[in-house]
Structure formats: structure tokens, C-alpha cells
Chain A
Amino acid sequence: MAVETLHLAPPGPLLAFWRSFRENRGAVIGLAIVCGVVFIAIFANFLAPYDPLEQFRDATKLPPIWVEGGDWKYILGTDPLGRDMLSRILYGSRISLFIGSSVMLVTAIFGIFLGLIAAFKGGIIDVVVIRIMDLIMAIPSLVLAILIIAVIGPNLTNTIVAITIVYLPRFVRLVRASAMSELSKDYVTAARVAGVGQWRLMFSTVLPNCMAPLIVQAALGISDAILEAAGLGFLGLGAQPPTPEWGSMLADSRDLITSNPWVMALPGIAILITVLSINLMGDGLRDALDPRLRRS
């Protein structure tokens, strides 16, 4: 009888990650919803029944279909200007995700660069970078964002700029701390001895080993950025009307709280679902990627 030898290769890093991630049911649900929201954001122009800015003057303030007086032509009802709420909510996902992901992208690029420079160069550069980050962190996030918006003016691009500046310190500090702990390790010394250049050492030797906490921070940062942007929109300092941004939609509907509560409720539900699902996913990412930070 021939003995069959089994070659059990260790699972690849992606597969190992997925197996670990899969254990957390909430995280998987979160991921599914996030995928759904991304899908909606990409295909909003096909999914939305109407243009988000089109005004149906003969159908203003309609309630959603499950409330008496609803019209199947406008499933989630219409706002006081007769704009279809469903279309506005669907298009709103585009803006929120756009803000969230661009903030994270820009923050990650600058954060990684500044954090690595601070960790590698040390000395005065390190001190200056960290002091500036401390200064930014000393001002409450929304207050600082308001200050920046007051200077550069309220619109969508400036919202992204303001929130990026607000969230930069978290990333810089995280990159710096992770890089510093890697710097003392043997493989870095070995690479140095082998004559690896400074930049290569930074970006191709050390950085990949710092990625786990950065990915987690980036995921959670997206949800924070979405919340912050919606908050600015609510204060009238974010995207300006008639842009279908969830926060500014909420601000517009404040006076309708008694007459048309749905116009106010729906954008908030959209924000909550999006942020919650990203946070669920982020918790799962943290557990799977970074066992040290494991919460449960």
C-alpha cells in the first residue's frame, strides 16, 4: 500500500487573512454592506430613477410608500422642492464615499511620507513634524475643520482639504511609531549593512512591515471622515446645496421635522448604515491583521 504524502503548504497571507476575518460574523456583514454601498455609489446613475436635482413641482413633500399618501413613482418620497429622495440618497453615497476615500488616500500618502521621514531622520525634523502634529491635535477636530473652512471657503474640495489636515496627525504618529519599532530590528540592520539606500530602506524594507495597523487606521479613518464631512455639511460648511450630500440634506430638512420627518430621517439613516458597516469591517480588519490590538 503506497503511502500518499500530503503536501500541506501554509496558506498564503491573503487566504490566512480571509480565514481570520471570516470568523467575525459582524465584520463579514459589514464588508457586504460596504460592498453594496460602493456598488450603489459607482452605479448611482443607473440605479437612481431620476436626476437628483430634478424638481417635480406637482409632487412635493410626498411621504415614502409605506406611509399613507405615498406614491410608487417616488419610493422614498420627495422633498419640499419635489426632488426624488431615493435618487438623492443614492447619489449622496457617491459624495460621502468620495470624501471618505479621498481623505484617506491623501492622508495616507502624506502621513506615510512624513511619518517615515520623522522616524528615519530623527533629530530636528522629527521634533518639528511631531510638534506640528501635536498642535493640530490640540484643536478639537470639528473646530479645526471649521477654522480651515472659514479661511478657504465652504465647498466639497475644501471639505476634503480640511478633514485631511485634521486627520493627518493620527496617521503620521502611527506610521512614525510603527517605523521606529521596526528600525531596531535585525532585518533593518541587515539591510543597512548590505548597503540599501535610505529611500529604499524606508519604502520597500520597513514600510511593508508597518502596513497592518495602517490599513486598520485607514478603514476606520474613512468612516470618521464621512461623519466629519456630514457634520460640516449639517453646519452649512460642507458641500453646498443643491449637491445631494447627506449632511446638508439633513440641515435643509431641519424645519420639516414635524411636517415631513422622513425627509430628515432618511439621510441620517444612510449615514449611520454606511459608517456602522465600515466600523464593523474595521473591527474585523483589526482582529485579523493586528492581533496585538485585538478587542475581543
Chain B
Amino acid sequence: MIKFLLKRAALTLPTFVALMFVTFTMIRLVPGDPIEVRRGERGISPERLAELRHDMGLDQPIWKQFFDYVWALLHGDFGTSIVSKTPITTEFFTLFPATLELGLCAMLFAVLIGVPAGVIAAAKRGSFYDQSMMGIALVGYSMPIFWWGLILILFMSNTLHLTPVSGRVDLIKFFYKPITGFALIDSVLSGQKGAFLDVLRHLILPTIVLGTVPLGVVARMTRSSMLEVLEEDYVRTAKAKGLTKFRVIGYHALRNALIPVVTVIGLQIGSLLAGTVLTETIFSWPGVGHWLVQSIGRRDYPALQGGIMLIASMVIVVNFLIDMLYGLINPRIRHGR
């Protein structure tokens, strides 16, 4: 097991090095160097320019710059934002809980609806319910979520006035200090009446929008995996024993059918992060995705560089952990490779 673990860890190392190289090169390929961006329209004296270049290490040979960059990264220094002059890590981790909260809610939404829908569809294979459910799942899977978000705002917020249009909480009515960064928890901790419900109301639309595509994927995957399991001998045995249909499907079959579904959920993390970019932009959600898009608008390349480095590292680490988990659950994977 330890050998397997070490081997896997060693395999992710080159990916990290390459990632550092890519993010390092990127900022040097961007039109206009970082100093030019900072200089603005009024111009700057040549002495000050040289000084700034020296401060940022831009007068060093390129290989030295790369090693300095890697050295800084290894010490947790992901650079400083040009706009806010704060470290990228500070900015990122202030905003990240909002993204994480939204992502978890969206995944929960997708699983809580997708799994039962897929199970029932498989149990009633070929029925009208099955066909319409799979039709809806495919629509969800094909949904341009930025449009879906606007349509939901149009109906739910502008026409029916059920949900707020943007943000995480109504800042005029409620104010609390972020303790955990998770609005759902912080609002409870603040002890203000109605704050939690307000946060929940703000979460509804972004959750639906971000959860729509995973919902389609999970429902389709659950159905096909369930259909496969229902053909197995042990399911027939369970049926022959005279167990109720509910018990056969809900207990014997579902447990095994969920394994590939869990895999798919794990694989959704990357696309979920991609989805947050669009969802957060629509709902002005103060998370990492919205911040990345804004960084491009502000030409804040260090923020872009650091942010992408952090996001990609997280995805690599999460994928590594999922791999480990499979190795633990399934000995065939552990010994097979």
C-alpha cells in the first residue's frame, strides 16, 4: 500500500513542476510586461522603472527568475495582486469559502435529486417516467448555464419576486463578520434573526444553476449503473428470496450501483470549478471564479497566475486523494498497476 501511495505521489510531482513552468511562462507571454501595466498613462521616470524592475526581479536572468518563482511557491508565496497589493493567497482564501459553499450545495442538489431520479428510471425501465426523466437529464446536461441563470433570475426574481438577484446576503439588513467564510455557518453564528434564511434564499438560484449539469450527469450515470447491477446474479437471488422490490433496489442493488456514480462525482470537481466561473459572474457571487474573470478585466496577471496555480494544485491534490481512496476501497487497482 505504501509503495502504491509513494508511486502515485511521485507521478503527480512532474505535473506540479510543469504547472509551475506553464504559469511562469504565461505571465511572460502576456502582451505588455507587468511594469508597463503598473506605469499607467502618465509615464514613469527611467530610474523608477529600473527600481521597480529590480524589485520584481525582472532584471535577473530568466532561469534565475524561474527558480526564484518556484522557491517562492514552495514557501507559500503565490505573488501579490497588482490592484489590491495584497498577497494572492490572502485574496484567494478569503473568497474560496464562498466558491466551496456554492460548489458543495450544487453537488448536494445534484446528488439528492439525481440519484433517486436515476434509480426510479432504472427500476421503471422503458416507462414514460424513464423516458421523460432521461430527456430532462439530457436537457440539463446540454444546458448553457449562463443563459439558464438569466432565465431563472427573470422568472424567480423579476416576475415572482421569490429569490434575490445577486450576492450572498442582503447587506443592508444583515451584517456579520466572516468567521468561517461560509455564509450559512457565519449567519447562524451571528445570531441575527432571519440572516440564515436570507443566506439560504441567496443560495437557491446559484445552486440550481451550478447543479444542473452535474444533475444530468449523475441521473444518467445512476440509471445506467443501476441497470447493469439489476442484471447481476445476487440481485436475482435477493428477488428469489422474496424480498420486496424496494429492499432489493434500495439496499442490495443501490450500494453497488453507487460505486461508478461516486467516481463520476469525483470527476465532476474540475467541471464544477469551471462552472463556478460562469455562475459567480451571473450572480455577482464573491467567489474565486468571479475574481478570476475580474482579474483579466483589470489586467491583474499575478492574480490570474497565482489563482490558476492554486486552483490547479487543488484539482491535482483532490484527484490524487480520490485515487488513493479507490486504492483503499478496491485492492484490484492497488495491485493491478
Contacts and interface: CB of A to CB of B under 8 A. Distances in A.
A294 to B, nearest CB: 8
Contacts of B146: 230-231, 234, 247, 250
Q: Is the interface of B mostly helix, strand, loop or mixed?
A: helix
B227 to A, nearest CB: 7
B30 interface: yes
Interface in A144-197: 144, 146-147, 149-151, 153
Interface stretch (B70-78, B253-261, B274-282): B274-282
Interface string A258-286: 10010011011001100110011001000
A237 interface: yes
A49 to B, nearest CB: 24
Contact of B147 (A132, A235, A271): A271
Nearest to A134: B15
A73 interface: no
Contacts of A280: 138
A151 B154 contact: no
Contacts of B142: 223, 227, 272, 275-276, 279
B141 A267 contact: no
B150 A268 contact: yes
A105 to B, nearest CB: 22
Interface in A34-53: none
Interface string A79-115: 0000000000000000000000000000000000000
Nearest to A268: B147
A234 B151 contact: no
B1 interface: no
Interface string B301-318: 100100010011001100
A250 B282 CA distance: 12
B138 A272 contact: no
B135 A231 contact: no
Chain A interface: which size bin?
Answer: 35 or more
Of A143, A149, A223, A265, most B-chain CB atoms within 10 Å? A143
A272 B148 CA distance: 10
Given A142-B278, A146-B293, A271-B147, 8 more contacts: A138-B315, A231-B278, A247-B146, A254-B150, A257-B153, A268-B144, A271-B144, A296-B134
30 contacts: A26-B138, A132-B18, A135-B18, A135-B22, A137-B270, A139-B19, A139-B308, A139-B315, A140-B311, A141-B271, A143-B273, A150-B26, A150-B296, A151-B30, A153-B31, A227-B144, A231-B278, A234-B281, A235-B278, A254-B150, A257-B150, A257-B154, A264-B154, A268-B150, A271-B147, A272-B144, A276-B138, A276-B139, A295-B223, A296-B227
Interface of B: 14-15, 18-19, 22, 26, 29-31, 125, 134-135, 138-139, 141-144, 146-148, 150-151, 153-154, 158, 220, 223-224, 227, 270-271, 273-275, 277-278, 281, 289, 292-293, 296, 301, 304, 308, 311-312, 315-316, 319
